[in-house]
A and B are shown apart, each in its own frame.
Chain A
Amino acid sequence: MDALNGRIVVLAGGLSHERDVSLRSGRRVAEALRDAGAEVDERDVDASLLPALRDDPPMCVLPLLHGETGEDGALREVLELLGVPYVGSEPAACRAAFDKPVAKAVVARAGLHTPPSVALPHETFRELGAAAVMDAIIAAVGLPLIVKPAKSGSALGFTVVRETDALPGAMVGAFAYGDTALVEKFVEGAEVAVPVLDTGDGPTALPAVSIEPDGGVYDYTARYTAGSTEFVVPAKLSDELAAECARVAVTAHQALGLRDISRSDLIIDAEGTVWFLEVNVAPGLTETSTVPLSVQAAGLELGELMTDLVRTAVGRSSR
């Protein structure tokens, strides 16, 4: 495949809680792109970014910012204003995907299973009395459950609650990351991640990666400590289940209007039901992330794949 003739700006860092993860993704992808023959600049997101993009427009921007600004569509909105081609979903789709309760509602309307949940702002607990609201949540959602910030990634602020007494602390932990918390029924089962790619021929699921953290919970430490989680790729699934996971991930991608790349996180319960948990519009591409494993299992090179995505983005902007 021909090398790209132009400079790619890889954006990584930012001010979100996931800055560190983003920097790791950025380094890895920049290296892979260079290996594929691309000219790459790595940039943080700060006040010097827009003048730099304006004064020396790149061929394409590759936003690898995780968390707010990067995944909530804000930065992409600005890139649209500047008319700079970029890889990934449009701002409105990002906003919906990054807001977990909204994303769950959208995919549920598309016919996917997603665990019962409730999303509430801190204010509601204060106005109505936390104890009464938490009682109602437990009665409706049941134990065990998961508490997480409505808008965040990398399992930051995420707690599995198995006993009623642990719920207040878990709520406080989630509210440290944002004003709204999502409380979701904890579905026991096999956790899998399924990337979806679209390089111009329609969205296609890559092989599912199963995730088996040593401690049983795929929290921040399990995600970013090499060696603490076993990944199996392609996941050990029957052909039917593998196809169902792919269908769910592609359906979520389409229902939310995403483009180029996404990663859906799913749980397969004992009955074989595939549950949608969340989708990421800027999935982690670090040394311990699932997407690069899946890319490799699909017989692809990360650098070539990212080059293809860039080519798609550039082609889209020139139409």
Chain B
Amino acid sequence: MTREVQPRSATRLDSYVDRYAARTKGMTASEIRALFAVASRPEVVSLAGGMPNISGLPLDVVGGAIYDLVRTNGPAAMQYGSGQGDPTLRDQICDVMRLEGIDAHPDDVVVTVGSQQAVDLVTRIFCDPGDVVICEAPSYVGALGVFRAYQADVVHAEMDEHGLVPDALRQAIAAVRASGRRIKFLYTIPNYHNPAGVSMAPQRRAEVLEICREADILILEDNPYGLLGFDDEPHRALRADEAEGVIYLGSFSKTFAPGFRVGWALAPHAVREKLVLAQESATLCPPSFSQMAVSSYLANHDWQGQVKQFREMYRERRDAMISALEDLMPAGARWNVPDGGFYVWLTLPHGLDAKAMLPRAVTARVAYVPGTAFFADGFGAQSMRLSYCYPTPERIREGVRRLVGVIEEELELRETFGTIAGEPHGSVERGYESPNTDLS
């Protein structure tokens, strides 16, 4: 081996460190992300990730459709396509949206790489640094990441069991405007909210629309879970009652499969034009192959029957989680009973901090997402998101059992030291901690 000591050098192990855009501030390693590396192991009951459970998909049917697609239409499927998206699929998307009361024209639909990209494109065309996006408190971690990337400021408005609180929205609008800042849109997930698990009540929908109409604020309605309700017909979309003031986002990730990465935006005409241009600069076009595969699935398979099966499976898992929580959780813990979607929002007994507790949970082989991930302002420490979509009912119960053990140990520790879960004090670094990529 050569052993010639090299001259002294100083390094930051990143030769580009002085060249990154300001928006990368906060893109750092974090303890929370590190802990989630363990959650992927089978020994851990992960109540953290939001991966759709697609084990019930008829893979033979999907495989056959893809085979036929390649055989009959391969050259087109593997070629560039329209920046706005495949016309046949856009037509089918309008049929899907009709289930939620939306009457739309395919010309106003832009296909995107999952609805996540639609959030990105909308933010890209609307937000300058320092502009304000109003979000529910809590809000979807993936959207908060997009807003942060475009250096938009997030102002949260309170939710309750009926969704976004209209008075809180009014107050947020007034406060932002009094501070001289511009509100670019309200970002809302009206149905089976991620992470809060609640849906906006019908009367609230009308009121929120009215508030935004009066204040001239655009609504970004993100609706990936809308067809996954357990009890009733799908809720009526905000976009169904307001065409000009709402951009609606949809996705096939939960109703079909996330691997195709097909979502869409339905936007007023002028906005749609800009979205297409933004889409073309981002990706040239959404993937033709995925779009045509989804289109074939919708055309040739009883996709609504499949969604019904998904709903039944998720309902069974929801029931397992709620039953386990009711049986096992200590006094002082509170949670909602979702009527659709993937998530339960659990608030811990007073004094506990879900983020501080996570290492203990990982040791106990159970994972969740601490509430702080869903706030842009450091709040949410006493809460966590529990996901029931993926594990079996038996594993869900086991996960809750482990979690209860962790909470009891933490209660004992907090009793000893008397510390209280902190909401942020003083100046708080704006940020989010996306623990993983499977949170959509």
On whether the beta carbons of A299 and B38 are closer than 8 Å, the reply is no
On whether the beta carbons of A233 and B417 are closer than 8 Å, the reply is no
Does A228 sit at the interface, judged by CB under 8 A?
yes
What CA separation (Å) do A241 and B356 show in the bound complex?
39
Does A116 sit at the interface, judged by CB under 8 A?
no
27 A-B residue pairings within 8 Å (CB atoms) = A16-B38, A17-B34, A17-B359, A19-B34, A46-B41, A122-B416, A131-B418, A154-B34, A156-B31, A172-B419, A176-B357, A176-B360, A220-B31, A221-B29, A224-B29, A227-B16, A231-B13, A232-B8, A232-B11, A233-B9, A233-B11, A234-B8, A288-B13, A297-B9, A298-B3, A298-B5, A299-B6
Does B98 sit at the interface, judged by CB under 8 A?
no
Within 8 A of B (CB), among A5-20: 15-20
Does B22 sit at the interface, judged by CB under 8 A?
no
Interfacial chain B residues near A236, Cβ < 8 Å: 8
Residue of B nearest to A134 (CB): B417
Does A50 sit at the interface, judged by CB under 8 A?
no
What CA separation (Å) do A254 and B23 show in the bound complex?
48
Does A184 sit at the interface, judged by CB under 8 A?
no
**Contact among A171, A223, A225, A231 for B417, CB-based, below 8 A:** A171
Q: Quick one: given A122-B416, A228-B28, A299-B4, are A20 and B11 in contact (CB under 8 Å)?
A: no
On whether the beta carbons of B14 and A227 are closer than 8 Å, the reply is yes
Does B428 sit at the interface, judged by CB under 8 A?
no
Q: Quick one: given A20-B33, A23-B37, A231-B13, are A122 and B43 in contact (CB under 8 Å)?
A: no
Does B133 sit at the interface, judged by CB under 8 A?
no
Does B30 sit at the interface, judged by CB under 8 A?
yes
On whether the beta carbons of A172 and B414 are closer than 8 Å, the reply is yes
On whether the beta carbons of A300 and B29 are closer than 8 Å, the reply is no
Binding site for A on B (CB under 8 A): 1-6, 8-14, 16-17, 20, 28-31, 33-35, 37-38, 41, 43-44, 356-360, 362-363, 365, 410, 412-414, 416-419, 422
Q: How many A-B residue pairs have CB under 8 A?
A: 132
Residue of B nearest to A20 (CB): B37
On whether the beta carbons of A21 and B34 are closer than 8 Å, the reply is yes
Does A308 sit at the interface, judged by CB under 8 A?
yes
Q: Quick one: given A232-B8, A299-B4, are A169 and B419 in contact (CB under 8 Å)?
A: yes
On whether the beta carbons of B6 and A297 are closer than 8 Å, the reply is yes
Kindly list the 6 A-B residue pairs having the minimum CB-CB distance in the complex, ordered from nearest: A227-B17, A20-B37, A227-B14, A224-B29, A226-B14, A299-B4
On whether the beta carbons of A227 and B416 are closer than 8 Å, the reply is no
For A156-191 the 0/1 string (1 means CB < 8 A from B) is: 110000000000110111011100000000000000
Does A273 sit at the interface, judged by CB under 8 A?
no
Interfacial chain B residues near A298, Cβ < 8 Å: 3, 5-6
Residue of A nearest to B30 (CB): A221
Interfacial chain B residues near A122, Cβ < 8 Å: 413, 416
Residue among B3, B30, B33, B37 with the highest chain A CB neighbour number at 10 A: B37
Q: Given A16-B38, A226-B12, A232-B10, list of 18 further CB < 8 A pairs? A: A15-B41, A19-B34, A126-B416, A176-B360, A177-B359, A221-B31, A224-B29, A227-B12, A229-B12, A231-B10, A232-B11, A234-B8, A236-B8, A297-B6, A297-B9, A298-B3, A299-B2, A299-B4
On whether the beta carbons of A168 and B5 are closer than 8 Å, the reply is no
Interfacial chain B residues near A77, Cβ < 8 Å: none
Residue among A173, A176, A220 with the highest chain B CB neighbour number at 10 A: A176
What CA separation (Å) do A131 and B362 show in the bound complex?
28
Residue among A18, A221, A226, A230 with the highest chain B CB neighbour number at 10 A: A226
On whether the beta carbons of B416 and A300 are closer than 8 Å, the reply is no
What CA separation (Å) do A224 and B418 show in the bound complex?
32
For A265-304 the 0/1 string (1 means CB < 8 A from B) is: 0000000000000000000000110000100111111001
On whether the beta carbons of B37 and A305 are closer than 8 Å, the reply is no
On whether the beta carbons of A156 and B13 are closer than 8 Å, the reply is no
On whether the beta carbons of B12 and A231 are closer than 8 Å, the reply is yes
What CA separation (Å) do A288 and B14 show in the bound complex?
9
